[in-house]
Amino acid sequence: MAALSVTLTGQPNCGKSSIFNHLTGLRQKVGNFAGVTVERKDATIEYKGRSISIVDLPGAYSLSARSQEEQVVTDYFKENKPDIVVDIIDASNMARNLFLTLQLLEMGVPLIINLNMMDEAEKRGIKIDEMKLEKIFGMPVTNTVGRDNASVRTLLDVFTNTRMSNYKPSELLQAHIDKVNELCRSGLSAEKVEEEIITARYDFIDKVMADAVKVDAANKTLGDTLDKYLANGISSLVILVAMFYLLFQIAFNWIGQPLADMLGEFFEETVAVAATEAMAAAGVADWMQSLVSDGIIVGVGSVLSFVPLIFTLFFCLSFLDGTGYMARVAFVMDPIMRRAGLSGKGIMPLIMGFGCGVPAIMGARTLDSHKDRMISILITPFLTCNAKVPIIALFAAMFFPGNAANIVFAMYFVGLAVAIIMAKVLGLTTFKGHESSFLLELPPYRMPDMKSVLLETWDKGKGYLVKAGTIIFAMSVAIWFLSSFNSDGMTEDMSDSYLAGIGSATSVIFAPQGFDTWEAGAAVVTGVMAKEAVVSTLGILYGAEDISTEAEDAAETSEVMLATDMGTAFTPLAALAFIVFTQLYSPCVTALGTIKKETGSWKWMAFAFVYTCAVAWFASLIVYQGGKLLGFE
Amino acid sequence: MTLADAKVGMTVRIESVEESPMKTRLMAMGLIPNTKAEILQSAPLGDPIAIRLRAYNLALRKDDAKLIQVSL
């Protein structure tokens, strides 16, 4: 027997994902719909000897193609006729949820209407007569409590026992559908028709609500009280800042980054060393030894060392999203973010960008429109991530002793300013017309469904490893090859490698910025691998091996480096131009790999590379030439 | 008056939605004539505002709220 095809649909915040998660668990595959930044989730499960393939569509308020999500859902139902379509409805928010239900039924999609979060509805004094509901629609009605595994699994029997062909729209519903069809043929303007249809739908819904739903005195909920603090007045801003601080600390200082550092160290010091020794003992060829320990193991290490960070951050973000708090963040931050052409929710991933761009780029997924997601992804690389700080710290300590702290601060500001300017520019050019509007549901506060939080975290980590990881790994090995080989074969001396050649070729374009030495050029090239590599490359090329790449050791490192030729290779002004350039230019390969994964397109990855380099080139040009005009050196 | 003029705590009745690209979007979210809406709060900077209608809470910008004629 062919697999039974089941599709879950519903409005945002109806608890659809947690139903899907409880039905499918780890068997789910998460991907994107072709060409868009919208997630598609699939899974095939076995139940009572029958295989059931389940698709979870993105939440959509209607089928009017006003957002990518709505477009995806509309197209899906035009192109697919699944055996069973389940429309999941938040029972405590029926009136608006039934809007989508009606639209689907008008399209001729037979539905199982599943009333979800029945426990919450009961708590709010809402009583729903399911029998009446079935009669009104002529479609089967079921109920679930989304976070309760047993209650969700009862749906499996419903799937296998229901034949949708046995259900026909009721007379009442058919009358509504006829009315809609008549309106479509009425010859009125398209907008007028749509308005009339919307009104007809809510008329129908009002009838349903009057007939089948009883609401006992709607009392103030806990959520209303919470909103007085979390989405209102000064307290909301204080709590918001505290939340950011907490999230940042957990991800970058308490759990994520420390674990990442340990993992990175383990690869560098234990695995690579052990592998080198083993290979030396076994008499493996030099180039092979180098490939394994400097290429492959370093590459794998750089992929893996981001994993704890991604897991930690996404656990926190999924949890917060599940509580409903993120919607309040969007609400509070909207007026500020709007000035930059972004929407309120965008603040969360952007703040993460000050730690690491990779989770920040992945976090853009949570934004509501394609435009917001793309702009957020494309401006994140300008922010001062943790890996850029060592570069700024070293150059500041070397060339601006006494002013180092101001330089570091100024660079944070430059990064942010360029990000905001580019958000505006991209909004007015590349993404013009895709209006980012703001009509945001403030869902009730809920305890997140932990199974969903964990699954989402796992998906993000896995997606990163599989999709971004392979690209990052390949690029790491390529950089190893370039830095260890020249046309005569392998070389111990990096200054004699292909990389040095590329470095000196690259450096030519930095003549107007005053740092056209081949060492600087090579550092810029390796910096694409990882921004920390800028400092270590300069260390190697100027003959000071084993310098620290930690920002807090910058004072010490700067003394070592000042003793080398680097001390005279840059004038202070050229050093400043160099910092500005490295601050803004290409995202590292990890971030580039992530951009490819998130946008699903090589084109956008290439665009991110080229346009950030161009912006960085011009910004550093302005700094150097402007500085010279003002009489600095 | 418009929804943007209504004060926090008021419950208003929606009269009409002005012609605009936002009109059908607002209507689809349930903002259609004769619907009651309670103004819950505004964000700390005065914009956007949060309202409750049809048993759910919706946030919208003042610019969009200005498109909605209401009565007490």
**Residue type present at position A481:** F
Distance CA(A448)–CA(A450), nearest Å, equals 6
Q: Is A237 inside any structural domain?
A: no
Residue A487 lies in a domain: yes
| Backbone torsions φ then ψ of A435, nearest 5 degrees | -65, 130
d(CA A482, CA A500): 9
- Which pLDDT score is estimated for A434? 59
Convert the pLDDT of each residue in A71-95 to its tens digit.
Answer: 899 999 999 999 999 999 999 999 9
**A246 CB neighbour count, 10 Å cutoff:** 12
- Output the domain CATH number for residue B25: 2.30.30.90
- Distance, in Å, from the CA atom of A211 to the CA atom of A198, rounded to the nearest integer, reads 20
Q: Burial-class residue A513 by CB neighbours within 10 Å (0-12, 13-18, 19+).
A: buried
* Domain with B7 in it: 3-71
Cβ <8 Å between B54 and A95? yes
Largest CA distance in chain A: 89
3-state secondary structure of A490: strand
pLDDT-based confidence at A437, cuts 50/70/90? low
8 Å CB contact between B42 and A334: no
Residue B28 contacts A where some CB pair is shorter than 8 Å? yes
Residue A45 corresponds to which tokens in the numbers above?
A: 């499960």
Using CB atoms, pick whichever of B35, B40, B57 lies closest to residue A441: B57
How far CA A563 is from CA of A59, A218, A384, A555, A573, in Å, comes to 61, 75, 28, 13, 19
Domain limits at A171?
Answer: 4-215
Which residues partner with A6 through β-bridges? Answer: A54, A84
Span A241-264, mean pLDDT?
Answer: 86
Helix (H) or strand (E) holding A413: helix A404-428
Establish if B70 touches chain A: CB-CB under 8 angstroms: no
| C-alpha angle A323-A328-A329 in degrees, rounded to nearest 5 | 105
Longest CA pairwise span in chain B (Å):
29
Q: What distance lies between CA B43 and its chain's CA centroid? A: 14
Distance from CA of A388 to the nearest CA of B (A): 34
pLDDT over 60 at B66, yes or no? yes
* pLDDT digit string, tens, across residues A260-270: 888 888 888 88
In whole angstroms, what is the distance from residue A471 CA to residue A590 CA?
Answer: 8
Q: How far apart are CA A430 and CA A419, in angstroms?
A: 15
Separation CA A523–CA A536 (nearest Å):
8
pLDDT score recorded for residue A431: 83
> Under DSSP, is residue B71 helix (H, G, I), strand (E, B) or coil?
strand
Q: How far apart are CA A63 and CA B28, in angstroms?
A: 10
- pLDDT single digits (tens) A36-60: 667 889 999 999 999 999 999 999 9
Structure tokens at A136: 């009104």
Query: Does B48 sit behind a cis peptide bond, omega within 30 degrees of 0 on the bond before it?
Result: yes
Looking at the complex, report in whole angstroms how far the Cα of residue A366 sits from the nearest Cα belonging to chain B. 18
With respect to residue A102, please indicate whether it lies within any of the assigned structural domains.
Answer: yes
Which of A186, A215, A244 terminates a domain? The answer is: A215
Torsion of CA A271, A277, A283, A289, to 10 degrees: 40
Look at residue A307 and tell me if it is in a domain: no
pLDDT computed for residue A150 by the predictor: 93
Q: Which two tokens stand for residue A500?
A: 């040095």
Band (A567; pLDDT cuts 50, 70, 90): confident
Mind listing the pLDDT tens digit for each residue in A577-613? 999 999 999 999 889 999 998 888 899 999 999 999 9
The residue among A190, A215, A240 that closes a domain is A215
Element (DSSP H or E) covering residue A174: helix A171-184
pLDDT in tens, A401-435: 888 888 988 999 999 999 999 999 998 888 876 56
| pLDDT of A132 strictly over 90 | yes
Residues of B in contact with A439 (CB under 8 A): 25-26, 29, 58-60, 64
- CB pair distance less than 8 Å for A198 and B22: no
- Whether A555 is in a domain gets the answer yes
Q: How many domains is chain B built from?
A: 1
Q: What is the pLDDT of residue A37?
A: 66
Angle between helices A222-230 and A233-248 (to 10 degrees): 80
Residues A573/A609, Cβ–Cβ less than 8 Å: no
Residue A103 lies in a domain: yes
Q: CB-based contacts of A564: which residues, under 8 Å, 6+ apart?
A: A542, A543, A544
Residue A350 clears pLDDT 60, i.e. is over it: yes
- Predicted pLDDT of residue A470: 79
Say which amino acid occupies A464.
Y
Helices (H) and strands (E) in chain A, counts: 31, 12
> What pLDDT shows up at residue A1?
67
- Which of these, A59, A58, A41, A52, lies nearest to A5 by C-alpha position? A52
Interface residues of A toward B, Cβ cutoff 8 Å, are 61-62, 64, 66, 92-96, 99, 191, 194-195, 198-199, 202, 215, 218, 223-224, 227-228, 231-234, 236-237, 327, 330-332, 334-336, 338, 435, 437-444
How close does chain B come to A262, measured CA to CA in Å? 42
CA-nearest residue to B18 within chain A is A195
C-alpha distances in angstroms, A42 versus A55, A261, A365? Answer: 5, 35, 18
| pLDDT band, very low/low/confident/very high, at A203 (cuts 50, 70, 90) | very high
Domain stops at, among A192, A215, A238: A215
Which CATH number belongs to the domain containing residue A112 in this structure?
3.40.50.300
- Please give the DSSP secondary-structure letter assigned to residue A108: T
List CB contacts (< 8 A) between B24 and chain A. 64, 191, 194-195, 198
Report the number of distinct structural domains present in chain A: 2
Residue A269 neighbours by CB under 8 Å, 6+ apart = none
Provide the pLDDT for residue A436: 56
Q: What is the mean pLDDT of chain A?
A: 89
* Residue A115, helix vs strand vs coil: strand
> With bands split at pLDDT 50, 70 and 90, how would you rate the model's confidence at A509?
very high
Give B11-58 pLDDT, tens digit per residue: 999 999 999 888 998 999 999 999 999 999 999 888 899 999 998 999
Residue A149 above 70 pLDDT?
yes
Q: What is the distance between the alpha carbons of residues A408 and A422, in angstroms, rounded to a whole number?
A: 21
Task: Answer yes or no: is pLDDT of A471 > 80.
Answer: no
**How many angstroms separate the CA atoms of A151 and A144, rounded?**
5
